[in-house]
Amino acid sequence: MTREEIFMALDEIFQDEFDDDAIHVDETTTADDIDGWDSLEHINLIVAVERRFGMKFKMAEVTDMKNVGEMADIIAERI
Amino acid sequence: MELVTDILRHSLFRLTSPPFLLFLLVMTVVYYSVPKKHQWKVLLAGNALFIGLYAGIMSVWQFALPLAVYLAASLIIYSVPIIIQRAGAERKKRAALIAGIACLSLLFVLFRLANSFILTINGFLPDGWRLSPISFSWIAPVGIAYFLLSGIGYIVDVYWEKYPAERSFARVALIAGFFPALVSGPIVRYDKISESLFTPHSFDYQKFKFGAERVIYGFFKKLVIADRASAVTGALFGNPETTAVPYIFGLFLFALQLYSDFSGCMDIMLGTAEILQIELPENFRRPFFARNLSEFWRRWHITLGLWAKDYIMYPLLKSKPFFELGVWCRKKFGRKLGKTIPSYVAMLALWIIIGLWHGGAPKYVFSSGILLWITIVGGQLLQPAFDKLSGFLRINRKSGAYGIFCNFRTLCLMCFAWLFFSADTLTSGAKAFIRIIRTFPGDLIHIGASAGHIIAAFKSAGYNLYDILILMFGFAVLLTVGILTEKMGFNVRQKLQDTNIAVEWFVLFFFIFFVIIFGIYGPGYNVADFIYNL
């Protein structure tokens, strides 16, 4: 899977989770950029990403990720 | 001199009593006098002294046993992460993790919950069958509920490979029982606090002054406001004749009391840490400016909320059973509920654990647990209905008035929870609630009688008009500082320093003398304990 493909899949997941088709994520997107991305939504998002890509994040990564770019790095490493 | 020795001899060692101030003074002088590489050892000695003195010096056992428990708990917190790190197989790591958490939880159950459980069970048993309470609580070191949570957090962090285990027992013991975080938290993170604990610090007048100012403000909150309000709320809640309006007044006053008590304690402790240049996390961020309950819990007892999120909520929702529950719910109830049901179940587990942590009694599990879960989840489920209603009523949600309405609504919901929290038992809380409903219409008709009842409560506490005015002044100070910080982004201490020196010192001495003159002291200069002293 290329990086573009990962981001396309991430777009779908984010749109689905936040009920908003206008959402597009990129390398620098953070929780501050998306309305409703609070701590509960964060873990729901993590679980949705794990389900979609069939991989697992480490617990330390869940809380330490700085932006969607870092999330994509971890996904690319594990699929 | 005689007066000073007299005060010290008759005071309990509590944060707001003279011996603590002496302790703080000695600590500060020694801390900044020793060679810098030994500074952390001074703090470690401070921990031991603080725990011992807090327990009492009536006998050697009273002083030493809590210290022994603290060292034993520190030993568990120290050794388990090292075992986890050295274990090769995941299975062994996991076993060590579970054993570590189980040991620490056992200590908590023994010292904090056992008696509550026994008393609760006794309620259901006939005479002659009742169990006698076992009192271990006197050998529990102060703040055990807080440092066990921090310790569990540390063990789990090492298991998650967030950072490596600390190799020195003395260092772990220092973090575990760091005395400014003992009485009522904050719950510390080992990796965050160790940076400033083990760095050398030179005396810094600016930080010393800011820290001292914060300690004074904490004294003001605790001694002038909280302890003054407590006699009135006690009189109102303790009287079975108290009707609706006076009771509701009492609940609002209790909100002021609890906030001043708990956040005042935090100010004293964080100010103390600031004097020693150790960074502790904030535990409050002006909670009464919250617009809903979820936000309230992100502003009140912040470190507990963050701890529960990281170590209960996230692992649960990421676990296999919850994943499968989500899949099942999606199939059964569709996408939306498939996502929310697992979150609600995890939140219920979280709130029950937080309720238990507050003390084993059913009133805590209800008022600090299940009830909050019901209101948060209920609020989220009813949100679409509220949206429709406010659309229908043409309410402008961006208006300031609506914001204040939301603040007030959140305060009322919390007061409802505190109705049970402040009652003796869950049953007496429920009885009080029924009484409020029953007498409310009558009270509205006889509003004069209600006011008379409130005044009678002030009188029975031995107060007069001055006390009412002092409470109102205290509230005005809290509100002003709150609005300046929250709405205008002021750093009050910095602003005070930027004014001219005469104004700064006038304000400082005004508060010092205000606390000395108008603080509430018990017999023998003793002060009341903190409500959140778990």
Q: Is B213 helix (H, G, I), strand (E, B) or coil?
A: helix
CA distances from A77 to A13, A57, B68 (A): 19, 11, 48
B323–A47 C-beta distance less than 8 A? yes
Shortest distance, CA A47 to any CA of chain B (angstroms): 6
Which among B160, B161, B317 has CB closest to A43? B317
What's residue B165's pLDDT?
A: 95
- Rounded CA gap, B39 and B30, in Å? 9
What's residue B179's pLDDT?
A: 94
Task: Answer whether the bond into residue B186 is a cis peptide, omega within 30°.
Answer: yes
B326–A47 C-beta distance less than 8 A? yes
Helix axes B335-357, B371-392, angle to 10 degrees: 130
Chain B residue with minimal CA distance to A16?
Answer: B335
- Choosing among B317, B328, B337, B348, which should be mutated to test the A contact, i.e. which has the most A CBs within 10 A? B317
Are the C-beta atoms of A10 and A76 separated by less than 8 Å?
no
Q: What is the mean pLDDT of each run of 10 residues along chain B (534 residues)?
A: 55 80 95 95 95 85 89 96 93 96 91 76 76 72 90 96 94 94 92 93 94 95 93 91 92 96 95 95 95 91 94 93 90 84 92 88 89 91 86 84 92 94 91 93 88 91 89 96 92 90 93 90 58 60
SS (H, E, C) B148-207: HHHHHHHHHHHHCCCCCCCCCHHHHHHHHCCHHHCCCCCCCCHHHHHHHHCCCCCCCHHH
For tokens 């009391």, name the residue: B257
What's residue B141's pLDDT?
A: 86
Cβ within 8 Å of residue B224, ≥6 positions away: B470, B474, B514, B515, B518, B519, B520
Q: Is B266 helix (H, G, I), strand (E, B) or coil?
A: helix
Q: Which of left, alpha, beta for B359 (phi over 0: left; psi -120 to 50: alpha)? A: left
Report the candidate in B369, B526, B530 with the shortest Cα–Cα distance to residue B13: B526
- Rounded CA gap, B256 and B442, in Å? 26
Give residue limits of the domains in chain B: 34-202, 204-280+424-534, 294-422
Exposed e or buried b for every residue in A40-56, given b needs 16+ CB within 10 A?
bbbbbbbbbbbeebeee
B314–A51 C-beta distance less than 8 A? no
- What is the CB neighbour count within 10 angstroms for residue B449? 13
Cβ within 8 Å of residue B231, ≥6 positions away: B461, B462, B463, B520
Cβ within 8 Å of residue A64, ≥6 positions away: B162
In 3-state terms, chain B is what percent helix, strand and coil (to 5)? 75, 0, 25
Q: Is A36 helix (H, G, I), strand (E, B) or coil?
A: coil
Cβ within 8 Å of residue B135, ≥6 positions away: B115
- Rounded CA gap, B294 and B292, in Å? 6
**Chain A contact residues (CB < 8 Å to B):** 16-17, 38-40, 43-44, 46-47, 50-51, 57-60, 62-64
Q: Is B40 helix (H, G, I), strand (E, B) or coil?
A: helix
Chain A residue with minimal CA distance to B347?
Answer: A40
Which residues of A fall within a CB distance of 8 Å from B315? 59
For tokens 């309990």, name the residue: B12
Which residues of B fall within a CB distance of 8 Å from A17? 339
- Rounded CA gap, A43 and A30, in Å? 14
Chain A residue with minimal CA distance to B298?
Answer: A39
Chain B residue with minimal CA distance to A63?
Answer: B310
- Long-range CB pairs of A8-17 (<8 Å, 24+ gap) are A9/A52, A9/A53, A10/A49, A10/A68, A10/A71, A10/A72, A12/A52, A13/A45, A13/A48, A13/A49, A13/A52, A14/A45, A16/A48, A16/B335, A17/A41, A17/A44, A17/A45, A17/A48, A17/B339
Exposed e or buried b for every residue in B126-147, given b needs 16+ CB within 10 A?
eeeeeeeeeeeeebbbbbbbbb
Q: Which is the CATH superfamily of the domain at A3-78?
A: ACP-like (1.10.1200.10)
What's residue B59's pLDDT?
A: 80
Cβ within 8 Å of residue B501, ≥6 positions away: none
Where do the H-state alpha helices sit in A19-67?
39-53, 59-64
- Rounded CA gap, A73 and B504, in Å? 52
Enter the tokens of residue B5. Answer: 């020795």
Q: What is the mean pLDDT of each run of 10 residues along chain A (79 residues)?
A: 90 89 90 86 91 91 90 91
- What is the CB neighbour count within 10 angstroms for residue B305? 21
What's residue B336's pLDDT?
A: 79
What's residue B436's pLDDT?
A: 94
Which residues of A fall within a CB distance of 8 Å from B158? none
Q: Which of left, alpha, beta for B134 (phi over 0: left; psi -120 to 50: alpha)? A: beta
B326–A40 C-beta distance less than 8 A? no
Q: Is B265 helix (H, G, I), strand (E, B) or coil?
A: helix
Cβ within 8 Å of residue A51, ≥6 positions away: B323
B317–A58 C-beta distance less than 8 A? no
**CB neighbour class for B225 (10 Å; exposed up to 12, middle 13-18, buried from 19):** buried
Enter the tokens of residue B394. Answer: 């043409």
- DSSP state letter for B138: G
Which among A38, A51, A59 has CB closest to B314? A59
Q: What is the pTM of this model?
A: 0.90
Chain B residue with minimal CA distance to A51?
Answer: B323
Shortest distance, CA A60 to any CA of chain B (angstroms): 5
